[in-house]
A and B are shown apart, each in its own frame.
Chain A
């Protein structure tokens, strides 16, 4: 157990260093600041109520940035190790492939969460500076967003072991963003289709990661109130189950991969 903890700790540190020493993250942080700071100062049309649209815009930016970081971090876990051949000295050490996979996943999630926490600090600051307040549902929204990031990293990690970087990033983003915006409408859409197409749409609905479950932006912006605790637990359980299955599949793929 001590060995596992030390190995995971080393992999988490590596993920943090890798994420925060990359130039593109600095670009993203600067972009975040450049967009959030004006939002914090704006008073649109002099109308107080209009500030909720600014909140919505800021939250959408936070979601976009977090998805970008989660997919990028998941994608960078293994392919660069194979390309630069660092995978050989790593696998020659006393660590199994399964443990390496889990350690790297935990590291990537922790690093992505650190970036997400940073963006939420910016968001909260932008709201407070505008004189706004927070609804009680903010902690729930943040918890679900963190769960979504953990799920997105796992999807990207699995994809990185199966297809090229560009294909993985495109497909993962398409699926996650597609489900985010259209996921809840798929069953309704399937009803109007012929049986074969309806089956395809229903299968996609059953298999694809339900990003929309984690989105509480509207509740947060319009003050619709917190969701029931049971619903929150169910969504978190769904995220954990989905991540477990995806990581299990990634483990199978990694163990079959020839180095």
Chain B
């Protein structure tokens, strides 16, 4: 892990696709143990930023450092857990086989994978469905399988793309508690979301994107006061002012 306390460092990052800037001059820092919510309307550049943080896309200009290194380096990615927005995973595998597969890709030995898979499936509430093919899972169950695979390598940084999408209220509470537990264990969490209430309940800081620009960054406690609507107000006001 990086010696510096900034787990994620983005400096003047721009990413253009065919001349159009999806992300423009973004600078962002995330400290160890912090939970940051990444907000913005559709097409604001959230997923592009996440892909750059994972080394899946190279920035057109600027620098991206994760855990002190280049995220395109597999050694750096060994410490990152990622859950995509929508993933169907492999429909012909069951949850246990899915974790065994990803465990192998992470280079874990069979015994470690088995132990971690048991514990993770238990903690995400999939222990009873562990032997069912993923094609029979509901969207919420797939999200839970997704978080389990993201946590398999015991990552220092957890990157979640729209983690609350498709979860019913009970699953949402369960998922929130799971993330809180991870935060208490010192994990750094970065997640994009449209769920302002969940973001306010979980995050230390938020960043708001609009058309590729970061229009707000700040601690949640500065805006907290009378409930979840504060972030909603801030979000709408920030987007309005950024016009």
Contact = CB atoms under 8 A, between A and B. Distances in A.
A10 B89 contact: no
B101 A10 contact: yes
Contact of A86 (B78, B87, B92, B100): B87
Nearest to B74: A94
Contacts of A89: 82-84, 87, 102, 146, 149-150
A92 B80 contact: yes
A162 B203 CA distance: 43
B57 interface: yes
A91 interface: yes
Given A9-B104, A94-B106, A22 B92 contact: yes
A84 B87 contact: yes
A18 B102 contact: no
A171 B198 CA distance: 51
Given A89-B149, A93-B77, A10 B105 contact: yes
Contact of A88 (B75, B84, B92, B93): B84
A6 B104 contact: yes
Interface string B133-171: 000000000000010011001000001000000000000
Interface in A50-104: 84-86, 88-96
Interface residues of B, number: 36
Interface string B107-137: 1110000000000000000000000000000
Contacts of A84: 87-89
B103 interface: yes
A17 B133 CA distance: 12
Contacts of A86: 87-90
Nearest to B86: A85
B88 A7 contact: no
The secondary structure that dominates the A interface is helix
Interface string A1-27: 011001101110110011001100000
A259 to B, nearest CB: 5
A18 B90 contact: yes
A188 B100 CA distance: 54
Given A88-B56, A93-B153, A14 B86 contact: no
A258 interface: yes
A258 B84 CA distance: 16
Contacts of A11: 104-105
Contacts of B106: 93-94
A92 B57 contact: no
B189 interface: no
A21 B74 CA distance: 31
B56 to A, nearest CB: 5
Contacts of B77: 92-94
Interface in B40-84: 51, 54, 56-57, 74-75, 77-78, 80, 82-84
B78 A85 contact: no
Contact of A85 (B88, B102, B103, B109): B88
5 contacts: A7-B104, A10-B105, A13-B101, A94-B153, A259-B51
Interface of A: 2-3, 6-7, 9-11, 13-14, 17-18, 21-22, 84-86, 88-96, 258-259
Per CB-CB distance, the 3 closest pairs between chain A and chain B, nearest first, are A10-B104, A92-B82, A94-B78
Given A17-B97, A89-B82, 5 more contacts: A10-B103, A17-B92, A84-B87, A85-B86, A259-B57
